[in-house]
Amino acid sequence: MAHDKMRVEISILHGVHVDGLRIFALVLYIIYMQIYCKNNTRYYEAPEGASLEEIYRIAGEPLPYRPMNVLVNNKVEGLTYRCRQSVDVEFVDYTNLSGQRTYVRSLCHILSKAVNDTLPQATLNLEHSISRGYYCVIHNGVQPLDKATIEKIKQRMQELIDADIPFVRQRVPTPDAAALFRRQGMEDKARLIETTGKDYTSFYELDGYANLFYGCLTPSSGYIHLFDMMPYFDGVLLRIPQKNNPAELEPLVRQDKMFDVYKESLTLKRAMGLSHVGDLNRAIAEGQTMQIVLVSEAMQEKQIARIAENIAFRYSDGLRMVLISGPSSSGKTTFAQRLGIQLMANLLHPVRISLDDYFLNRLDTPRDSNGEYDFESLYALDLPYLNSDMQTLLRGETINLPSYNFQDGVRRYKGKQLRLEKNSLLVIEGIHALNPELTAYIDPACKYRVYVSALTSISLDNHNWIPTTDNRLLRRIIRDYRFRNYSARDTLSRWPSVRKGEDQWIFPYQETADAMFNSAMLYELAALRRFAEPVLSEVRESDREYAEAYRLLRFLKYFTPISDRELPGTSLLREFVGGGSFHY
C-alpha cells in the first residue's frame, strides 16, 4: 500500500524592495503525492491533481498494450480521474476483462453517436452478446438497413475514432439529465435514472452528444483501435478484438440456436412492456410485482413443458437419456427437477444421476498449469466407469450407484442400486453433459441434449445490456454464502477460474443442444438485490476483489428491490436464495 506521504515544493521567483521592506513573490507551490504502481512494484512522485493518464507516463508506461482503466486502491477509475492523495494504482489493459468492458462501452458510445449522425431519426438497440460480438438492431423508418447503410455508419465511426475526440464526463442533477436525454429521444435512459432515486447523474459527452453508460470510458475515441460491423440476422453484429490478442478481431462463431432463445426473450419483454429496467422499476412501484413474477414463471414452465413433450415424442423412437448441461449457477439442478415433473406428466419415469458422483478420487484428479487440482476438467470424471454404467443401465441391468464424498475426495458406495424400468428415462445433469466425449460409447439415437443458461433477461436501457455472467455471478455469490459458507470474496476470487473452465469445457458444445432453456427471469435482479448487497458489502477495500464487488453493488442500485415472498416455491431462484419446494 502507498504511504500517505506528500512533498511540498516551493519556488520563489524574486524579491523586491517597497518602502524599505523586502517582499517576496511566490510563483510556484506544488504538492507531490507518492504513487505505488502495482504493475512494476515501484514508487513514484506525481503532482497533486495529476490524472491517471499522466501518472501512467510517469510510471514509464508499464503495460504491453494501452491502458483502458485503472484500479485505484482496488476501485476502478477512468484514466481522466485526478488523484488528490497518495494511492496504489494498477493499470488495466484490454487483456483484462475490466479493460475490455471499458473498451466496449467506449466503442458503443461511438456507434450510438455515428447512428445519430448518419440516421438522425433511427433508434439503436444494443441487445446482447452473441457470436463473440454484440447484436444490435437499428430501427429506421426512412430507409432499410442494407449493407450500404451499415458501411456508412461504420465509416462515420472510423471518422470519430480518427478525430480522437475526448469523452467528457458530466455530473448534473438527475432532473436536468433526464430532460437532456428526452431532448435526444432517449426516454429509456430518462426513465432509468428517474427510477433509481439518485440526486445526481453522471454521463459522457462525445462531440456534444450525451449518453449514459454503466462504468467508465476511455479518455477519448482514439483509444479504439479495432472494430468491425456486419449484417447479422435482422440487425448487425458489432465485432471487437480478441481478449488475448487485441490486434486481431474475435473470430465469428455462429450461434443460431442461442440467437433464437434471445429473440424469444426479447419478444416476451416487449409483449409485457418491460424492455428496460426503468420500465420494471415503474411497474414495481405501481404494484405489478406479483403479475410480473407469475408471468415470468409461467413462461419458464411453458418452455420446460415444451421440452418435455419433445422428449416424450422421441421416446418412442428409442430416446432413453436426457443430458443437461450449462455453466455455473445456470439453474441446472432446479431445471432437472422441474423437467422431471413435466416428464411424469407425459407418463415417463425420470431417473436422475449427477455427474458429480463419477468424479475420480481426489488423488487421481488431473492438475492444472499451477499444480492445483482441476475439478473443471472433463478428465476429473471417471469416463470409462461412467460409460460402463450407462451401457449397463440401457441394457436393462442393475448398477451400484456411486456417491462422491466431497469432504475427503473419495468415491463411496452406500448400497443404492439403480435399474431402468418400463417407461424409465435417464436424466444426467452436469457441466460436461454435452461434451461428446462424455458419452462416446452411447448410441446418439438414445440421447437428448439440453443446454441451460441464465441469458440476459432485461437491459438497463437501449445501450446497456446486462451480461449473462453478472446474473450467474450474483446467483453464485448468494448461494455460496447461504449454503456453502463461502464469502463473496471467496466466490469472486474463484470466478475467473470457473469462467476459464466454462470457456474450455462448456461453451464450445452449446450449439449441439437439441433444446436451450433460458433460466433468467425479468424480475430476477430485483429479487436478488436484497440478498446480494449485504454479502458484497463485506468485501473490504483492501481486498483485490473489492473492484468487482463495488461494481456489482453499483449495478444493483439500478433495481427497485422486491421481496422473495413473491417467489413461488418451485421458482428456479429458490435454488440460490432458499425456501423452495425442491431438495438440493
| Three cell numbers written together for 25 | 513573490
Provide DSSP, 203-223: EEEETTEEE--SS---SBGGG
pLDDT of 454 over the 70 cut: yes
Q: What is the pLDDT of residues 217-242, one digit of tens each?
A: 999 999 999 999 999 988 999 999 99
pLDDT of 313 over the 50 cut: yes
Task: Say whether both 469 and 518 belong to one domain.
Answer: yes
Question: 10: how many CB neighbours lie within 10 A of its CB?
Answer: 9
Q: Which residue has the higher pLDDT, 273 or 352?
A: 352
Q: Which residues touch 175 (CB under 8 Å, ≥6 apart)?
A: none
Task: Give me Rg for the CA atoms of the chain.
Answer: 27
pLDDT of 19 over the 80 cut: no
Among 5-9, 201-205, 219-223, 293-297, the range scoring the smallest mean pLDDT is 5-9
Q: Round to whole Å and give the CA distance between 323 and 447.
A: 7
Task: Say whether both 435 and 553 belong to one domain.
Answer: yes
| Three cell numbers written together for 496 | 475467473
Task: Say whether both 283 and 342 belong to one domain.
Answer: yes
Q: Give the residue-averaged pLDDT of 50-60.
A: 97
Provide DSSP, 463-476: TB---HHHHHHHHH
CATH number of the domain bearing residue 232:
3.30.980.10
Question: What pLDDT, on a 0 to 100 scale, did the predictor assign at position 88?
Answer: 96
What total of structural domains would you count in the chain? 3
| Three cell numbers written together for 24 | 517576496
Task: Say whether both 110 and 174 belong to one domain.
Answer: yes
Q: Round to whole Å and give the CA distance between 112 and 126.
A: 9
pLDDT of 422 over the 60 cut: yes
Which residue range is the domain that position 265 belongs to? Answer: 256-350+431-577
Question: What pLDDT, on a 0 to 100 scale, did the predictor assign at position 441?
Answer: 87
Q: Round to whole Å and give the CA distance between 220 and 167.
A: 5
Q: Give the residue-averaged pLDDT of 339-344.
A: 97
Q: Which residues touch 80 (CB under 8 Å, ≥6 apart)?
A: 51, 52, 53, 169, 219
Question: 273: how many CB neighbours lie within 10 A of its CB?
Answer: 11
Three-state SS at 402 = strand
Q: Which residue is listed with cell 428456479?
A: 572
Q: Give the residue-averaged pLDDT of 151-180.
A: 97
pLDDT bracket for residue 185 (50, 70, 90): very high
Q: Round to whole Å and give the CA distance between 227 and 249.
A: 7
Q: Give the residue-averaged pLDDT of 44-72.
A: 96
Q: Which run of H or of E encompasses 180?
A: helix 174-183
Domain membership flag for residue 28: yes
pLDDT bracket for residue 22 (50, 70, 90): low
C-alpha distance from residue 45 to each of 31, 34, 98, 323, 578 (Å): 10, 5, 26, 59, 51
Question: What pLDDT, on a 0 to 100 scale, did the predictor assign at position 455?
Answer: 83
Question: What pLDDT, on a 0 to 100 scale, did the predictor assign at position 10?
Answer: 55
| Three cell numbers written together for 129 | 452478446
Provide DSSP, 318-386: T--EEEEE-STTS-HHHHHHHHHHHHHHTT-EEEEEEGGGGBPPGGGS-B-TTSSB-TTSGGGB-HHHH
| Three cell numbers written together for 44 | 513514484
Domain membership flag for residue 464: yes
pLDDT bracket for residue 146 (50, 70, 90): confident
Q: What is the pLDDT of residues 474-493, one digit of tens each?
A: 999 999 999 989 999 999 99
Q: Round to whole Å and give the CA distance between 539 and 551.
A: 12
| Three cell numbers written together for 427 | 436424466
Percent of the chain with pLDDT over 70: 94
Question: 454: how many CB neighbours lie within 10 A of its CB?
Answer: 26
Task: Say whether both 290 and 334 belong to one domain.
Answer: yes
At position 337, the amino acid (one-letter code) is: Q
User: Mean pLDDT of all residues in the chain?
Assistant: 92
pLDDT of 16 over the 70 cut: no
Q: Round to whole Å and give the CA distance between 395 and 287.
A: 55
Domain membership flag for residue 110: yes
Question: What pLDDT, on a 0 to 100 scale, did the predictor assign at position 460?
Answer: 94
Q: Which residue is listed with cell 436422475?
A: 352
User: Of the residues 42, 57, 91, which one is the last residue of a structural domain?
Assistant: 91
| Three cell numbers written together for 244 | 488475448
Dihedral of CA atoms 572, 578, 580, 584 in degrees, nearest 10, equals 80
Question: 507: how many CB neighbours lie within 10 A of its CB?
Answer: 17
Q: Which residues touch 451 (CB under 8 Å, ≥6 apart)?
A: 325, 326, 434, 510, 513, 515, 516, 517
pLDDT of 553 over the 70 cut: yes
Domain membership flag for residue 393: no
At position 278, the amino acid (one-letter code) is: G
Provide DSSP, 33-90: EEEEETTTTEEEEEETT-BHHHHHHHTT--SSS-EEEEEETTEEE-TT-B--S-EEEE
Q: Which residue has the higher pLDDT, 272 or 402?
A: 402
User: Of the residues 211, 239, 267, which one is the last residue of a structural domain?
Assistant: 239
Domain membership flag for residue 33: yes
Domain membership flag for residue 456: yes
Question: What pLDDT, on a 0 to 100 scale, did the predictor assign at position 23?
Answer: 53
Task: Say whether both 288 and 192 belong to one domain.
Answer: no
Task: Say whether both 298 and 340 belong to one domain.
Answer: yes
Q: Which residues touch 436 (CB under 8 Å, ≥6 apart)?
A: 509, 512
Q: Give the residue-averaged pLDDT of 376-400.
A: 93
User: Of the residues 59, 91, 123, which one is the last residue of a structural domain?
Assistant: 91
Task: Say whether both 556 and 459 belong to one domain.
Answer: yes
Q: Which run of H or of E encompasses 403?
A: strand 399-405
Q: Round to whole Å and give the CA distance between 91 and 88.
A: 10
Domain membership flag for residue 423: no
Ramachandran quadrant class, 350 (left: phi over 0; alpha: psi -120 to 50; beta: rest):
beta
Question: What pLDDT, on a 0 to 100 scale, did the predictor assign at position 1?
Answer: 46
Task: Say whether both 203 and 278 belong to one domain.
Answer: no
pLDDT bracket for residue 451 (50, 70, 90): very high
Task: Say whether both 282 and 216 belong to one domain.
Answer: no
C-alpha distance from residue 444 to each of 379, 429, 438, 441, 574 (Å): 21, 17, 12, 9, 34
Question: What pLDDT, on a 0 to 100 scale, did the predictor assign at position 21?
Answer: 57
Task: Say whether both 456 and 435 belong to one domain.
Answer: yes
Among 220-229, 359-368, 549-558, the range scoring the smallest mean pLDDT is 359-368
Question: Which ranges constitute the DSSP H helices of 214-288?
Answer: 256-272, 277-285
Question: What pLDDT, on a 0 to 100 scale, did the predictor assign at position 2?
Answer: 46
Task: Say whether both 87 and 110 belong to one domain.
Answer: no
Q: Round to whole Å and give the CA distance between 170 and 379.
A: 52
Question: What pLDDT, on a 0 to 100 scale, did the predictor assign at position 8?
Answer: 57
Q: Round to whole Å and give the CA distance between 577 and 529.
A: 11
Domain membership flag for residue 267: yes
Q: What is the pLDDT of residues 110-137, one digit of tens each?
A: 999 999 999 998 999 999 899 999 999 9
pTM of the model: 0.91
| Sheet arrangement for strand 167-173 | 167-173, 200-206, 209-211
Q: Give the residue-averaged pLDDT of 344-370.
A: 92
CATH number of the domain bearing residue 36:
3.10.20.30
Q: Give the residue-averaged pLDDT of 370-384.
A: 90
Q: Round to whole Å and give the CA distance between 243 and 182.
A: 36
Rounded to 10 deg, the angle between the 289-315 and 277-285 helix axes is 120
